[in-house]
Structure 1
Amino acid sequence: MSDLTLKYIADLDAGVRDLFASDRWRSYLEFLAKFHRYSANNTIAIYLQRPTASLVASFSDWRRKGRKVKKGEHGIKILAPHVIKDTDDDTGEIKQRLGFHIAYCFDVSQTDGADLPEGPARQLTGSVDGYAHIWDTLLAVSPVPVSIEPITGSDANGYYSHSDQRIVVRDGLAELQRVKTAIHEIAHALLHAKGAEEADADRSTREVQAESVAYVVCRALGLDTSDYSFGYVAGWSADKELKALKASLDCIVRTSDRILKAFEPSDDNGSGQETSAA
């Protein structure tokens, strides 16, 4: 299976590179370039307060971009730098040093207004042959409970909660998007839980790993998620030129194989029927 997995990863790499060269991708990157780049510490702070955040800016920045923060929304706390001037009492010399104060930013899901340009990932549509079996098998292989629920205050299709140890998939998704999202979040639970092998990876690397696993597993199950996965991986790889994908090959292969083994016929019974494995 590993050789086939590597072939799918090569397809993913090629698809993402094609997207990087497209006019749609360049347009999207030009839009993102207008947003403030946050430090590593602030990126972590944003993730801890709002794990589903996708695009954040200050109150005034959103107004300049033609969008307004919705009434009643609470800002995400970050640290903003400012200059502190100290005057030497003896010489009168003024020295400057860097200080920090609490500031607030807001995710795009907390705003209303002008339409944003099309993002790099397109929502998947369509039904899935054998959906019930695939879904039941994913529930069995997941290390944490998976539920389908409404998700408010975010555009995310799903999320894995470290604190609650559960996965939530958005209610109302098409079967193909639901399956893809569940595999993505299961990959997070397997790879990025506390104490897991990739728990310390940065956020962009974690997202590339999880979506790569989702693409590989879906391909192996005969499901095409390229319209979504290529753009998703590109979105998180833009600053790294796919280095995160290439550096993560081993864990992507192993995690994909671990999930796919749940779809193999059981060796314990002679029926030849497929069974779920945890």
Structure 2
Amino acid sequence: MSVKLEEGRVRQAVQSLLAMFRDGELPEKAARTFINARAGYGKPSDKWSLGNKLLMLINGTEDARGYQQWREAGRQVKKGAKAIYILAPMTRKVTQKVVDEETGEEKQEEKIIVTGFRGVPVFRYEDTEGEPLPQVDYSPPELPPLYEVARRFGVEVKYLPFIGQAAGAYRPGQKQVILYSHDVDVFFHELAHAVHNTIRPLKGGQHRDQEIVAETVACVLCELYGAKGYLWHGWEYIKHYAGQEPKAALKAIMAVLNEVEEVLERIFAAAGMDTDKVA
């Protein structure tokens, strides 16, 4: 397919997308899916609070354990490795008087209460050595379109069980895309972040314009590859950052449209303009 024809198809998809957003005529939404941990591959961190899981991810690992837990797993913490600290609740048992709703009588009831938190040292998998851990592949049976593009940009793509936060993440410092869902639009969104980062370094966190660029690119790619049911989610996502009024959201998209088109151009250039599989 020629470059000129490809540019025309991309622009047609962009205009079609904007028209659907403007008129509110979006296809029926698909149900969101998330990856569940498989039996037999559990980690201690699976039972941690969301805050502690996020702390682990911020420190660049998907598996952190206490010193003894690593020994039980057949691994040893490397000499000189520094611990990261998670918060564990301190509890105590108290006896309280309660009133039976049926009889009105008072009775004693034991209850566990949290009295505070303490720091618990844990070590990253990357700071240990020893026996290999059981591995499980959470990749989808069929990889999404443009999967090879991420590799051509030097970005590693990993599928992991959902831990109660976003459906995906891009880590610029580690050149990683982490996906907690097999939904193709999630991959497209994070791929857009990775390619956008080659145009200009992205700001940390979820920056408004960056999120609108990534989600608009994802919606266009869904249209081009015939991935149905995701535009509703994309429109709601964009409105979350741009404002719930359709005019405000459309204005926000138009403000970043040049970057959207540049990201798309780089994606298809990296794909070698091989668009034979595009719907």
TM class, shorter-chain normalised?
A: 0.3 to 0.5
Q: TM-score, normalised by structure 1?
A: 0.47
Larger radius of gyration: 2
Q: TM-score, normalised by structure 2?
A: 0.47
